[in-house]
């Protein structure tokens, strides 16, 4: 059973003796700034990100952004966050597997850079109480861990939890179709034994690894052209803050959104002349 | 008739301060404090009985004093200073006996307040950033203390179900800091050396000791039943806690943390109960919407709590306990209470 939160506005911390800028979610605006500076090279020069329909992302209030997830170590999340934060000036909180939290150093950096463990309660608070933009990948680890041959074939959108979260918080779902991330780091195969031993969702071996070796291959992406297409926001005509929503409705909505993203991806793929130059 | 209150753990920080706060309420006719040692602060009119919490004794005390409220603060949340057996005896068995006495046939008890801790939520990677009162743990209890407090809460829940005419309040406190309370965290901070797990910088929530006492006072006065998280607004990263408190962070390795810390723990240079190990990795935040719904407002934020603690620490360095905030002498107290030489004005 989960609690319902009253419609209280997010209270600013009065007389807070904080000495740096880490917020209650662990996000640091200083570190975001730094990440954006580094990310700018990738965003502008390397992936040459282009947006379509950026104006569909709301400038105020909470919204749940969802996208397809691709590439063995996905570059889509940081690029979407980078894009929205620089172009719209709104912070984005990225939901991800709680596995990050267990990794020393990386976990802390991830959290400071706006990464939040994907727990329904966290999403609800961010969307409803704080009115923030939240980025989620409903495919979860199934998206990036699929083999190269199945690129741009969307996996199951979890159990539709993202729809329920948006319904409960009373916010729109804004789907984003991402083109290019799959080719930036194509998966060859996984090493399940190593994944299990390290407690990681999966351990990939990529084309980048073949070309550049184990270390550089993990850090350097192939310069695929990135295109983000923002689809029309989905506003659910349901009462917010309910304990449960009809399963049939949730599953139907999740399937419909998945199908729309898939259709747009097919359209974008059909119109793409080159993987590298778009 | 005014309120008649039985308070356990009078000799601890919690009990003493809460009794002192309750004394100020004119509606309270009588406070009887129980403890295993001498009370540590001066109390005006609290009666004191030194007793173990065995059932037969508690049952006699409850029935003969006709208390209507029991404030149960005698629960150990510091597992470094107590053996596993004592922890179990005090927390689980003590609570069991107390609740049995409170629920005995013909009992006059109408309200039971139990002190618990946010330790019952644990700390793990799958946790939400903020626990509400009904958010379940993400994994089973891992340490002795977590197990013992979980058991205590189960007893309290069953008691509430079995006795619908008795109000039951559970207060789950976050890490308490203050000038007088002593916890593993406060001892570490006071030493100026603070354990941390390298590579982790979790979000931690605190609560100031005066807010703790006010909260007790509120639920007793207003007789509010339910489970409430008690934690100050905001979370702050461990690194910032250390900076505010002026403590140096000793970075322990993420693997074999306990083994690495063992020599220092042995030498009493570090306090590292198993609960703290998890907290130092994953942190914990709790939602206090329900408590605020009662109209309770915290005077101090989490960061402010650490600042206040640091101030108290800086003060005590030069002057120590000489500027005694709680000068208490039991003989003198007995003299003031019982000697015919003391003029008593009836109000």
Q: What is the DSSP string of B234-278?
A: --EEHHHHHHHHT-EEEEE-SSSHHHHHHHHHHTTS----HHHHH
Q: What does DSSP say about strands B167-173 and B111-117: parallel, antiparallel, or unpaired?
A: parallel
Total structural domains in chain A?
A: 1
pLDDT level of residue B80 (50, 70, 90 thresholds): confident
User: For residue A123, is it within any domain?
Assistant: yes
Place of tokens 């966290």: A122
Q: Is B1 a residue whose pLDDT tops 80?
A: no
Place of tokens 């966050």: A81
Q: Are A132 and A86 in contact (CB under 8 A)?
A: no
Alpha-carbon span A4 to A276, nearest angstrom: 47
Alpha-carbon span B270 to B70, nearest angstrom: 36
Q: Is B259 a residue whose pLDDT tops 50?
A: yes
Residue B6 is predicted with a pLDDT of 94
Q: Select from A47, A127, A53, A137 the least CA-distant residue to A87.
A: A53
Q: Per residue in A52-67, pLDDT tens?
A: 999 999 999 999 999 9
Residue A105 is predicted with a pLDDT of 94
Q: Is B262 a residue whose pLDDT tops 70?
A: yes
Residue B133 is predicted with a pLDDT of 95
pLDDT level of residue B320 (50, 70, 90 thresholds): low
In sequence order, the β-bridge partners of residue B33 are B7, B48
Hey, of A27, A100, A101, A241, which one would you mutate to test binding to chain B, going by the most B CBs within 10 A of its CB? Answer: A101
Q: Are B168 and B220 in contact (CB under 8 A)?
A: no
Residue B50 is predicted with a pLDDT of 86
User: For residue A197, is it within any domain?
Assistant: no
| Residue A70, domain CATH | 3.40.1130.10
Q: Are B8 and B73 in contact (CB under 8 A)?
A: yes
Domain extent at residue A249 = 29-188+226-270
Q: What does DSSP say about strands B3-8 and A115-117: parallel, antiparallel, or unpaired?
A: unpaired
Q: Is B43 a residue whose pLDDT tops 90?
A: no
Residue B321 is predicted with a pLDDT of 56
Q: pLDDT > 90: what percent of chain B? A: 65
Distances (CA, A) of A90 to A85, B115, B310: 5, 42, 36
Which has more confidence, B82 or B163? Answer: B163
| Count of positions (residues) in chain A | 278
> Shortest Cα distance from B269 to chain A (angstroms)?
25
Q: Is B60 a residue whose pLDDT tops 60?
A: yes
Q: Is B323 a residue whose pLDDT tops 70?
A: no
Total structural domains in chain B?
A: 1
User: For residue A147, is it within any domain?
Assistant: yes
Residue B157 is predicted with a pLDDT of 96
Q: Are A135 and A81 in contact (CB under 8 A)?
A: yes
Q: Is B22 a residue whose pLDDT tops 90?
A: yes
| Residue B232, domain CATH | 3.40.50.720
The 8-class DSSP code of residue A220 comes to: P
What pLDDT tens digit does each residue of chain A (278 aa) get?
334 433 333 444 444 444 568 998 999 999 999 999 999 999 999 999 999 999 999 999 999 999 999 999 999 999 999 999 999 999 999 999 999 999 999 999 999 999 999 999 999 999 999 999 999 999 999 999 999 999 999 999 999 999 999 999 999 999 999 999 999 999 999 999 998 988 888 999 999 999 999 999 999 999 999 999 999 999 999 999 998 999 999 999 999 999 999 999 999 999 999 999 98
Chain A residue numbers with beta carbons less than 8 Å from the beta carbon of B196 are none
Nearest to A98 among B126, B236, B303 (CB): B126
The 8-class DSSP code of residue B164 comes to: T
Q: Where are the alpha helices (DSSP H) in chain B?
A: 13-23, 55-65, 84-87, 94-102, 144-162, 184-191, 209-222, 238-245, 257-266, 274-282, 289-293, 302-319, 330-338
Distance of CA B347 to the CA centre of its chain: 33
Residue A18 is predicted with a pLDDT of 46
Q: Is B199 a residue whose pLDDT tops 60?
A: yes
B199 touches chain A (CB under 8 A): yes
Q: Is B196 a residue whose pLDDT tops 70?
A: yes
Q: Are B282 and B127 in contact (CB under 8 A)?
A: yes
Q: What does DSSP say about strands B206-208 and B111-117: parallel, antiparallel, or unpaired?
A: unpaired
Q: Is B302 a residue whose pLDDT tops 50?
A: yes
Average pLDDT over residues B206-231: 95
Q: Per residue in B278-297, pLDDT tens?
A: 999 999 999 999 999 999 99
Judge residue A273's burial from the number of C-beta atoms within 10 Å of its C-beta, 0-12 exposed, 13-18 middle, 19 or more buried: exposed
Q: Are B298 and B304 in contact (CB under 8 A)?
A: no
User: For residue A101, is it within any domain?
Assistant: yes
Chain B residue numbers with beta carbons less than 8 Å from the beta carbon of A104 are 197-200, 254
Residue B345 is predicted with a pLDDT of 67
Chain B residue numbers with beta carbons less than 8 Å from the beta carbon of A122 are 128-130
User: For residue A89, is it within any domain?
Assistant: yes
Please report the ipTM that was assigned to this predicted complex.
0.84
Mention every residue, 6+ apart, whose C-beta is less than 8 A from residue A109: A31
> Shortest Cα distance from B218 to chain A (angstroms)?
22
Chain B residue numbers with beta carbons less than 8 Å from the beta carbon of A14 are 301
Asked whether the CA dihedral B205, B209, B211, B217 is positive or negative, the reply is positive
Domain extent at residue B147 = 3-327
């Amino acid at each position: 059973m989960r609690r319902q939160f009253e419609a209280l506005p997010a209270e600013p911390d009065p007389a807070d003796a904080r000495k740096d800028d880490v917020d209650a979610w662990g996000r640091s605006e200083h570190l975001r700034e730094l990440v954006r500076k580094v990310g700018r090279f990738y965003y502008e020069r390397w992936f040459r990100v282009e947006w379509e329909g950026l104006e569909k992302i709301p400038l105020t209030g909470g919204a749940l952004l969802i996208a397809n997830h691709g590439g063995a170590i996905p570059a889509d999340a940081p690029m979407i966050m980078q894009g929205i934060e620089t172009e719209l000036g709104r912070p984005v909180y990225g939901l991800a597997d709680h596995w990050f939290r267990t990794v020393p150093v990386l976990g802390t950096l991830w959290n400071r850079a706006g990464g939040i463990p994907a727990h329904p309660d966290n999403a609800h608070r961010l969307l409803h109480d704080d009115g923030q933009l939240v980025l989620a990948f409903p495919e979860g680890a199934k998206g990036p861990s699929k083999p190269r041959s199945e690129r741009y074939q969307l996996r199951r959108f979890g159990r539709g939890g993202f729809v329920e979260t948006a319904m409960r918080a009373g916010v729109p779902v804004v789907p984003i179709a991402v083109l290019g991330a799959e080719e930036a780091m194509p998966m060859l195969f996984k090493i399940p034994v190593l994944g299990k031993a390290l407690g990681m969702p999966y351990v990939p071996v990529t084309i980048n690894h073949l070309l550049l070796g184990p270390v550089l291959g993990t850090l350097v992406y192939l310069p695929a052209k990135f295109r983000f297409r923002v689809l029309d926001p989905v506003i659910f005509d349901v009462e917010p803050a309910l304990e449960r929503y009809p399963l049939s409705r949730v599953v139907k909505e999740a399937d419909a959104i998945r199908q729309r993203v898939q259709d747009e991806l097919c359209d974008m793929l059909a119109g793409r002349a080159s993987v590298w130059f778009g | 008739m005014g309120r008649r209150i039985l308070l356990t753990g009078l000799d601890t920080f919690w009990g003493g301060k809460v009794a002192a706060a309750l004394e100020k309420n004119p509606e309270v006719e009588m406070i009887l404090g129980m403890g295993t040692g001498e009370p540590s602060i001066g109390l005006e009119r609290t009666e004191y009985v030194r007793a173990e919490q065995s059932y037969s004794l508690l049952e006699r005390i409850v029935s003969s004093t006709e208390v209507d409220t029991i404030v149960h603060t005698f629960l150990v949340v510091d597992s470094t200073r107590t053996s596993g057996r004592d922890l179990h005896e005090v927390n689980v068995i003590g609570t069991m006996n107390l609740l049995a006495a409170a629920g005995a046939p013909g009992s006059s008890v109408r309200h039971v307040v139990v002190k618990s801790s946010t330790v019952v939520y644990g700390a793990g990677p799958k946790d939400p950033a903020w626990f509400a009162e009904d958010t379940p743990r993400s994994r089973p209890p891992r340490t002795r203390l977590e197990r013992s407090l979980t058991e205590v809460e189960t007893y309290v829940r069953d008691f509430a179900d079995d006795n619908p005419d008795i109000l039951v309040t559970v207060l789950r406190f976050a890490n308490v800091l203050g000038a007088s309370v002593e916890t593993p965290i406060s001892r570490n901070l006071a030493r100026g050396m603070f354990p941390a797990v390298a590579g982790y910088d979790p979000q931690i929530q605190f609560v100031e000791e005066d807010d703790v006492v006010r909260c007790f006072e509120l639920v007793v006065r207003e007789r509010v039943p339910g489970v409430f998280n008690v934690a100050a607004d905001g979370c702050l990263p461990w690194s910032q806690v250390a900076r505010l408190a002026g403590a140096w962070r000793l970075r322990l390795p993420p693997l074999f943390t306990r083994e690495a810390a063992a020599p220092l723990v042995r030498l009493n240079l570090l306090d590292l109960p198993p609960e703290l190990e998890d907290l130092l990795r994953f942190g914990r935040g709790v939602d206090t919407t329900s408590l605020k719904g009662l109209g309770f407002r915290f005077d101090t934020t989490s960061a402010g709590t650490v600042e206040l603690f640091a101030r108290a620490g800086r003060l005590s360095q030069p002057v120590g306990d000489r500027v005694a905030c709680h000068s208490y002498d039991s003989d003198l107290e007995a003299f003031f209470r019982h000697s015919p030489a003391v003029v008593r004005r009836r109000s």
